[in-house]
Structure 1
Amino acid sequence: MKKLIYALLPTLLLLSFIFMKMKKDPAKDFLNSLSPELLQKAQLEFDHSEKTNWHFVPSSMYQREGVSLKELNNNQREALQSLFKTYLSKSGVEKIEQIMGLEAVLRSMSGDSVMRDPGAYYVSFYGDPSGDSPWAWSFEGHHISLNFTIVGDEVVATPRFFGSNPATIPSGPREGERTLKMEEDLGFELINSMNSDQLEIAIFQEEPMREITTRNIPKADPLDPVGITYSSLNPQQKKTLIKIIDEYLSALPKALSNKKRRQVEDEGMEHLRFGWVGAREKGSAHYYRIQGLSFLLEFDNSQSGANHIHTVWRDFDGDFGRDLILEHYANSDHH
């Protein structure tokens, strides 16, 4: 039997090598699909200054690095879809498709084909996915900013921003369609389940916010510890709070979202706080935030007659993979 195994060993090693070569790598496949001209635009140095200069306004208002959707042919777009499906869940892919689709709605409402351009979303790579050093990629345009940093087998997916305008489509063939519906409805469910004593603690400001507090700053630090603590909620309210966190994580693949959820739990649920600002029903400006030891998520719906949502997840030390990169360099001899 041993002789047979030894005889087959070279064949098994060859098959293993062939399998590894055949194994798909969506990042490399996408870059390999690009022409030299597009590749030069798409791939930048890992420490390029634009890596942390993220934004969520229309591309006519903020010039982005990278290659745009409208520059890609069908094969290149398919390669980009494979990249999305690797680093996002089905729900995450649906969110970006819905948000990009709202550009056509805004174009029909405003007649502005320059600001409202569904093709003005950009993909950028920082560093080389083929090497053993950290690398990153981003996808960004109006109301979308997805930032992924890869260090070995570890993936960081923050800052992660989704927005929707209009949040509820007011007319036309898609009338009544709501993008980021669950993020809003679960917030209302939680705040409207509270008694008067809980509301006094949870509502930390009466004047409506005009924007998420952290905006698009490169590094988010913990905000003031406002709102009601997890420990002050009843069992059903605690479940709703976790549902909100899970909804924000649902854009990520299951393994990545589960890992982040475990991190939140391991840090201690008693450290979670839920804070609310503004109206407790649709139609008027409202805002909420959930903050833990290592992260913050924000929801705001105050612009355009409270029909314009901004949401974001920030990691205080982990945005753009800062903690992983520091650990990598500290443990790498060649650095």
Structure 2
Amino acid sequence: MNFRDYLLPADSPRIAAARGVTPAEYAQRMLATEKAQNLQREWQTLLDEAFRGITTHGKPQPDLFHLQDEGFDNTCAVNAARALLATLSDEHHQRVCQPVDAQQWRAWYNPEIPFNDFGVRLEQTSVATREAFRRLLRSCTSPSGFEKINHLMDANHFLGELYDLTNIMNRWSFHFMIFGEPSETRPWGWNIYGHHVAFCCFIIGRQLVISPTFMGVEPNIIDRGNEHDAILFTEEERRGLTLMQALTPVQQQRATVYTLMEDPAMPPERFNFADQRHLAGAFQDNRIIPCEGICAAEMSPVQRQLLLDTVAAFIHILPEGPRQARMAQVLRYLDQTWWCWIGSCGDDDVFYYRIQSPVILLEFDHHSGMWLTNEAPARFHIHTIMRTPNGNDYGQALLQAFQQYTEAE
């Protein structure tokens, strides 16, 4: 399938609603629809809940996350954040800076519609601020992670180019905030969010949590015909499919929770137009997600390694020290890790999968069209999610541990 066969016609109402307007004007138009208003009300209700974290039974599992030295070079991140703040106007500085425990951490979303106005959109900042942001991003990611986030931001711009809508979809159309004061000893962090990118980065000493993340593309191919061309999410797709195909027929049957991507057997809460098969998407910070499929404890050594290879395709965005610490965490709870699948597992099939343990939750999903016209899921529209269940999304479990430690002194 070629994504260009599914481009919206030039006279599409979707394009007309977005052309020649500011992001705020576009939001006003789109949020006037009943569908968007219902979604916004639902999200606000979830945001108003006190944070608990994603769990399997409704109560966070204790004693999973601890303050430790992961070897993260926080000096570079602190200096980059301070340099960025120095580029901001007084108004932007006030909007960007939030308390370390602010509710705005959890206000991220993934559509192109501006559902809130927290922080500042990077497109409204100076060139100096944007370059400073790139240095901050580089300081908190691996080289491949830095490249990936840049590709995703460019993929958003590429979609804007396809429809001449870079006024609402471009490489800088993302909210940005800093939480707490950049410090080498005290907790702080930052995030960006917008269309197909949500990236929450919490830092405490030499320890780093990047979670939640939402990363997606439509289309997953950037093909301008220059050195910036890319095909995205190939590793997450390939490694997940390789694992599923390595299971025995009996294991595959047990891992498959639904055989169709939009299965009539799905209960109403199992599928929605915004997240489709994802369970841990925007504003789902407290969702109860029971484990499904098969447990890694039942897998062969080869299958378990393929599972870890799939995890590695998600966490490669972390710098080396935090990445090694994250994988050690995953290994510690490997026998409590579950694998589930929706769809078929032929070489060209579309599918959803989830990896879920006490310390990590990963989702991969092929989606139907939003800005393309494919009514069925296709491989050129992909969403992925990375979460830390049981209370450590946004580094909140570590923040609580730090606060308890300082209060005890």
Partner Cα separation in structure 1 for residue 79 and residue 296 of structure 2: 41
Instruction: Give the unaligned 5+ runs of structure 1.
Output: 1-20
Confirm or deny that 1:145 pairs with 2:211. Answer: no
Q: CA RMSD in A?
A: 2.7
Residue identity matched to 2:158: V
Deviation at 1:309, TM superposition (A): 0.9
What amino acid does structure 2 have at the position aligned with 1:86? Answer: S
The secondary structure found in structure 1 opposite 2:215 is strand
3-state SS of 1:332 partner: helix
What is the rounded CA distance, in whole Å, between the counterparts of 1:131 and 1:187 in structure 2? 37
Residue 318 (structure 1) aligns with: 392
CA deviation after TM superposition for structure 1 residue 166, in Å: 0.7
Please give the alpha-carbon distance, in whole angstroms, between the structure 1 residues aligned to 2:161 and 2:130. Answer: 25
Change (3 A) 1:251 1:276: same
Please name the residue that 1:280 is paired with: 345
Question: Structure 1 residue 52 and structure 2 residue 106: aligned?
Answer: yes
Query: Following TM superposition, by how much is the alpha carbon of 1:204 offset from its aligned partner in structure 2, in angstroms?
Result: 1.4
Residue 354 of structure 2, aligned match among 283, 286, 289 = 289
List aligned pairs for 1:65-104, cutoff 5 A.
65-104=118-157
Tell me if structure 1 keeps the 8 A contact 2:260–2:344. Answer: no
Partner of 1:212: 278
- Give the corresponding residue for 2:40: none
Match for residue 235 of structure 1?
Answer: 301
- What is the letter of the counterpart of residue 262 of structure 1? A
* Identity value in percent: 24
8 Å CA contact 1:67, 1:122 repeated in 2: yes
**CA distance in structure 2 between the aligned counterparts of 1:311 and 1:259, rounded to whole angstroms:** 22
Q: TM-score, normalised by structure 1?
A: 0.84
For residues 76 and 332 of structure 2, the distance between their equivalents in structure 1, rounded to whole angstroms, comes to 38
Higher relative contact order (CA closer than 8 Å, sequence separation 6+): 2
1:35 equivalent to 2:89? Answer yes
Q: Secondary structure at the residue paired with 2:384?
A: strand
Using the alignment, how far apart are the partners of 2:244 and 2:76 within structure 1? 51
**Unaligned regions of 5+ residues in structure 2, if any?**
1-74, 263-275
TM-aligned CA distance change 1:153 to 1:235, over 3 Å? closer
Distance in 1, matches of 2:117 and 2:219, equals: 23
**What is the Cα deviation at residue 112 of structure 1?**
2.9
Within 5 Å, give how 1:109-120 maps onto structure 2: 109-120=162-173
Task: After TM superposition, give the deviation of residue 137 of structure 1 in Å.
Answer: 0.8
Which stretch of the first structure deviates more once superposed, 82-91 or 132-141?
132-141
Q: For 1:24 and 1:222, locate their aligned partners in 2 and report how far apart those are by CA, in whole Å.
A: 35
Q: How many residues align?
A: 312
1:99-132 CA distances to partner (integer Å, 9 max, x unpaired)?
1111233223333334323221222012211486
Change (3 A) 1:118 1:85: closer
2:292 paired with 1:226: yes
Distance 1:272 1:164 in 2: 27
SS of the residue corresponding to residue 243 of structure 2 reads helix
- The 2-side partners of 1:130 and 1:38 are apart by 20
Asked if 1 retains the 8 angstrom alpha-carbon contact of 2:184 and 2:205, the reply is no
